[in-house]
Structure 1
Amino acid sequence: MTRLSLRLRILLFFALMAAGGILVVALALFAGYRHSFEGGAGPGFMLAAIISGFGLLGLATAIWFLFDENVAKPIERLASTLRVRAHAGVPAALDTHAARYLGDLAPAADAVTTQLDAQTLDAAELVALETEALSDEKNRLTALLSEIPLAIVLIGPTHRIVLYDGQAASALAQIAPPRLNASIFDYFDKSVLLAAHDELVKSDREIRFEATCLNGDVSFAARLKPLGTARGYMMLIDEAHTHLSPEASRPLTYDFDLLSNAGPSDLLKLPIDRVPFVVFDSETTGLLPHKDEVVQLGAVRVLRGMIVAGEKIDRLVNPARPIPPASTKVHHITDAMVADAPPFQTVATEFHHFARDAVIVAHNAPFDMAFLHRRAKDYDLAWTHPVLDTVLLSAVLFGTTESHTLDALCSRLGVSIPQHLRHTALGDAQATAEVLCRMLPMLKSRGFDTLQKVIEQCQKHSRLLEDLN
């Protein structure tokens, strides 16, 4: 069969259907003819009609099954693999054995993608050289900023954080987790900061003021500096208020494209590659959200399709109850490890701030979100964020017949999870985030280019999992 052309194989499918139909009808008429001698012509024709109907139905079902297994499914798998290679940048191997009845389609597709991969590698070498030059620039900028004995936050024209150094991260963390594209008013009193900013705009000179934290517990000696003709302004915080020494490492976290970004408006209408995501995972005392407790929560942030280095949550949680040995065997978290950990309310509140103005993403999201919703009223936290589930995204991109476990997705998309990080909250959150980043260009290539369109596609597969939107 594999030596025959694709057109001839399809012809044989229809020929088989025609021949089988003729055979079924002939047998049915023969059986009806035999029966007519005993019961008359009417029952004989009735028997022939029944046999013909069920015979043709069985024949159509059998031929559909052959067509589905040997044509439809291989084409779907071939298309999915091509999209993975084209849009996720993963050199996934084409399953030529599964597509062996599709003629020259699989080898031809493999040849095209191999050629494109080679051209992409050439382009990647040029990009790598430019990236190395940019890395040198970043290192020089970091070294220059290290000479300034102040924590530095660069703020865009819409009062959203564009850049912060290690010292500033330490200062902001005393209020809430630092995050790019967050409103500076999520950390400092809006009225005080706006008054200083108004004075900065009027005078175009450095303004000293006392930056009062949003919770009112701490205040920093700070100053605002104009950026000349550039948009936005700089906030400098007295180094004495940070936990790092002047000699400590001062890594920069930044995205200068945020200077021209107006910030989140209607998330549903944003292009999918501009949506801010927070990807999280939790480890628990068991599998029953209505009575079990969280023992670990991990989360990372994704901006413009990339994981933001350094912006993460990795917290153990004291569940206020013993951890069953069976659960410890999975996530390796013991009672001794969580004895001095904060309660879930503290960690949930921290995560709520971390996920502000973002879409929450998880693998099998209904399970993890159930723990958050269960305590929401007690903690006065409203989980109104849009939610995406990588299980449903996998169904949208690869079809419902494929496996949608996290391990299967990682294998399909070329994401590796170090064994010691598997079944840890941060490790699984990081892997899920990498999977998401590879899926975003694939979704866009299918025409699902806004969050609204992606959610609509996920809702079509809600039979697999509850859709939380």
Structure 2
Amino acid sequence: MGERLGLRIRFALFFAALAIGGVAIFAGGLLLGQARASGPVDGYVIAGLVGGFGLMGLAAWIGLLFDANVARPILGLAADLHTRAQTDVPVGIEAHDARYLGALAPAAQAIHEALEEARTSQERAVAEKTARMARDTALFEALLRDLSEGVVVVSPDLRIRLYNRVATDLLGPLGLDRPLSAFLRLDPVSESIARCAAHSARGQPRTETFLAATHDGERLLVGSVCPVVMAEARVGHVLTFHDATEELRTHGALEHLLAETVESARRPTAAIGAMLDVLAEGDDLPAADRDRMNAAMRDELKRLFAVLNGPAAADVATARPWPIAEVAVSDIFDALEARLMVPFEVTPSDAVLSCDGYAITELLSRVVQETGGREGVRSLRLSAEPAGREISLVLSWAGAPISQGALEQWVKAPLSPAYGGYSGRDALSAHRTEIWTETGAEGARIVLPLAAAHRPEPPAAPAIHRDFYAFDLPAFSGPLGERALSEAAFVVFDTETTGLDPARDEIVQIAGVRLLGGRLLRGETFDTLVDPGRPIPPSSTKIHGIDDARVRGAPGVAEAGRAFARFAEGSVLVAHHASFDMALLEAKADLIGWRPETPALCTGLLSAALYPHASDHTLDALAARFGVAIDEKLRHTALGDALATAEVFLRMVPVLEAAGVTTLAHLADVQRQGLRQPA
């Protein structure tokens, strides 16, 4: 960074020396003239003062013009070229401020274009050589995202290196380089990993299973873990798992029902057995006693039949691991239209059932086929009729009705070879439903009621971001300040408020994005409105567009702050003009129960340290300097400004590293003291 004077100071000293020298020469000339003329001194003194001050003023004016039109543009061009040498800035160099430098600005623009062309050529060559790898990577991403089981890859210290969508659904908002212990109770997983290591040490590597609860204890996950080995060293583990909460709950309930049923049947069975023994051994038993014994046996048999025919026994008998899922009625109807030759019409429906779609389709296929094949049956129609928590699938027709006996014969037949001996009757029992015929004024029909499911609103198609895996993150266990900038995790955040006084005003929106390994993780964002507990002034609403109606029902600052604290855990905070945002959080620290571990970094202060010649360090100015496009629709929203600040900070890091700033501690020093630039 050097100890030499800066360019602007050198020019200022040059013009100061020019002014002082000119005044000295001017004063010397006046003194010489007065000595020769031997006239009054007063006139010469006045002339000298006027001329001297005039000369110094002229020198200062010319110096300021030179600084504004030469020195600062030169420094600006140098900074622009230096920035472009260290990081990719797609926009051209602004030549307006350097318009008085002749060919220097066009030359700088030519260098920028040459750099862009070189980068483009390099990227094109790399892209061509890695096209196959990119296709394999895209396939890998698609497979991981669409797996029906959760997948997490962890490092040896159990920090997340990869996760898929299902894992996020089961464990919560996962994030790269976050500890798995924040989402899963690790004891069973650690034991499985230890068993894996023991088997591997014996030369018998194998996958181990585990049953673990989520961190909040709400779900039980059944899964397996296997090591990832490279060059005979374990570099991590792969965990695959699924939600077994309902399965285990159902299993426990069935075990309880079975135990109750067996215990309830034990007493009458034992009593009957004892009485039978008495009757077998008592040949000389009086007739009256024998009659009483037979009556007692009949009573015990009634009790036994009551147990076996009761609801508990029925639940045990009908409980099977039947594949129940959410199935659209339209999918069942489409399948029937595709496979059946019998003509029938369909009434469109957007209803969703909770059922075994394959079994119900097989059952309806048989019913429609048999009904349509009967003489006199016409105008077959399939429809779905809502009835409370159920949806009735209805087959109606004009013509003779079908008897319940005939329908029962169709239902008793096996469903299909895929289900073995399971019949349609078994499927109806598993769905806890019935099927029947009925006749009305509009004709005959067959009704099959099934449990309704609620179709969720179709989510907007998510943007595909390659931010759910990172295998190249190094393990780091030293002090946070010694961590390299390229290895640190950052959370760039922004707030929108009711005003500009941190001591009095409140947060109405807070958002953040994560940076890790030199990239922006667009899949890991935090964004929430906050109810400030007071009216939002119209002047503030005019800036960020958030009014009282929008924050109604939003979490308060305590709940939102705790959620943001969980999101920012283990990361260094970054913001533009961070002192304001941090003052807002500090004012609510006791209410939230959280204070950041390290001071926040400020992109405004870092810009001032990197570009001391620049007079504008606003977010818009930084975005223009680094070629970051800010979506006007997102400007002055917490998430939009956080994303823009994150893009700026990412482009700033290579420039800082080129200046020798490589660790977090050094970066904090630069923010406090500034960066002394070489001349």
TM-score of the two chains, using structure 2 as the length reference: 0.58
The Cα shift of 1:302 comes to 0.8
- 1:110 and 1:146 map into 2 onto residues whose CA distance is 44
The letter for the 2-side match of 1:178 is L
The Cα shift of 1:114 comes to 2.4
Q: Which residue does 2:134 correspond to in 1? A: 135
- 1:239 and 1:129 map into 2 onto residues whose CA distance is 42
- 1:193 and 1:27 map into 2 onto residues whose CA distance is 93
The letter for the 2-side match of 1:321 is R
SS at match of 1:403: coil
CA deviations 1:48-106 (Å, max 9, x no partner) are: 99889867765664454244223321221011211232223114433445335545443
SS at match of 1:272: coil
- 2:59 and 2:20 map into 1 onto residues whose CA distance is 10
Distance 1:20 1:136, change over 3 A: same
Matching of residue 236 in structure 1 with residue 449 in structure 2:
no
Matching of residue 182 in structure 1 with residue 183 in structure 2:
no
Matching of residue 73 in structure 1 with residue 288 in structure 2:
no
- 2:141 and 2:119 map into 1 onto residues whose CA distance is 31
SS at match of 2:184: coil
Distance 1:72 1:338, change over 3 A: same
Of the structure 1 ranges 317-326 and 162-171, higher mean CA displacement relative to structure 2 is found in 317-326
Larger radius of gyration: 2
Residue pairs, 1:18-417, within 5 angstroms:
20-22=22-24, 24-26=26-28, 29=31, 58=57, 61-62=60-61, 64-102=63-101, 104-130=103-129, 132-145=131-144, 148-173=147-172, 177-203=173-199, 204-229=205-230, 231-239=235-243, 253-258=468-473, 261-263=474-476, 265-399=478-612, 401-417=614-630
SS at match of 1:290: coil
Residue pairs, 1:447-458, within 5 angstroms:
447-458=660-671
- 1:431 and 1:377 map into 2 onto residues whose CA distance is 30
The Cα shift of 1:388 comes to 0.9
TM-score of the two chains, using structure 1 as the length reference: 0.82
Distance 1:27 1:456, change over 3 A: farther
The Cα shift of 1:186 comes to 2.2
Of the structure 1 ranges 183-192 and 403-412, higher mean CA displacement relative to structure 2 is found in 183-192
Distance 1:219 1:292, change over 3 A: farther
CA deviations 1:177-207 (Å, max 9, x no partner) are: 3210111122223444433322232234323
Of the structure 1 ranges 372-381 and 87-96, higher mean CA displacement relative to structure 2 is found in 87-96
- 2:326 and 2:167 map into 1 onto residues whose CA distance is 12
Of the structure 1 ranges 85-94 and 284-293, higher mean CA displacement relative to structure 2 is found in 85-94
The letter for the 1-side match of 2:239 is M
Q: Which runs of 5+ in 1 are unaligned?
A: 1-8, 463-469
The 8 Å contact of residues 171 and 214 in structure 2, kept in 1 or not, is answered as no
The 8 Å contact of residues 31 and 47 in structure 1, kept in 2 or not, is answered as no
- 1:374 and 1:116 map into 2 onto residues whose CA distance is 47
The Cα shift of 1:216 comes to 4.2
The letter for the 1-side match of 2:84 is R
- 1:306 and 1:271 map into 2 onto residues whose CA distance is 14
The letter for the 2-side match of 1:210 is L
Residue pairs, 1:11-22, within 5 angstroms:
17=19, 20-22=22-24
Distance 1:264 1:403, change over 3 A: farther
- 1:421 and 1:459 map into 2 onto residues whose CA distance is 31
- 1:88 and 1:19 map into 2 onto residues whose CA distance is 45
CA deviations 1:234-254 (Å, max 9, x no partner) are: 122214679x99999997611
The 8 Å contact of residues 226 and 239 in structure 2, kept in 1 or not, is answered as yes
Percent identity between matched residues is: 38
Distance 1:264 1:245, change over 3 A: farther
The letter for the 2-side match of 1:303 is L
CA deviations 1:420-452 (Å, max 9, x no partner) are: 111111111011111111111111222222222
The Cα shift of 1:338 comes to 1.6
Q: Which residue does 1:465 correspond to in 2? A: none
SS at match of 1:447: coil
CA deviations 1:283-306 (Å, max 9, x no partner) are: 111112112211111111111221
RMSD across aligned positions (CA): 3.7
- 1:46 and 1:202 map into 2 onto residues whose CA distance is 100
SS at match of 1:231: strand
The Cα shift of 1:162 comes to 0.4
SS at match of 1:297: strand
Q: Which residue does 1:6 correspond to in 2? A: none
Q: Which runs of 5+ in 2 are unaligned?
A: 1-10, 200-204, 247-324, 328-457
- 2:565 and 2:485 map into 1 onto residues whose CA distance is 22
Of the structure 1 ranges 452-461 and 47-56, higher mean CA displacement relative to structure 2 is found in 47-56
The 8 Å contact of residues 82 and 113 in structure 1, kept in 2 or not, is answered as yes
CA deviations 1:322-375 (Å, max 9, x no partner) are: 222221111111222221212222221121122122111001101111121111
SS at match of 2:629: coil
Of the structure 1 ranges 345-354 and 15-24, higher mean CA displacement relative to structure 2 is found in 15-24
Distance 1:49 1:245, change over 3 A: farther
The Cα shift of 1:32 comes to 8.7
Of the structure 1 ranges 178-187 and 57-66, higher mean CA displacement relative to structure 2 is found in 57-66
The total of aligned residue pairs comes to 443
Distance 1:337 1:169, change over 3 A: same
The Cα shift of 1:390 comes to 0.8
Of the structure 1 ranges 97-106 and 193-202, higher mean CA displacement relative to structure 2 is found in 97-106
Greater length-normalized contact order (CA 8 Å, ≥ 6 residues apart):
1
CA deviations 1:231-286 (Å, max 9, x no partner) are: 100122214679x999999976111212xx10463332222222211100111111
The Cα shift of 1:127 comes to 2.7
- 2:498 and 2:168 map into 1 onto residues whose CA distance is 32
Q: Which residue does 1:423 correspond to in 2? A: 636
The Cα shift of 1:395 comes to 0.9
Distance 1:346 1:217, change over 3 A: farther
SS at match of 1:434: helix
- 2:546 and 2:96 map into 1 onto residues whose CA distance is 43
Distance 1:304 1:148, change over 3 A: closer
Of the structure 1 ranges 453-462 and 152-161, higher mean CA displacement relative to structure 2 is found in 453-462
Of the structure 1 ranges 386-395 and 140-149, higher mean CA displacement relative to structure 2 is found in 140-149
Distance 1:424 1:33, change over 3 A: farther
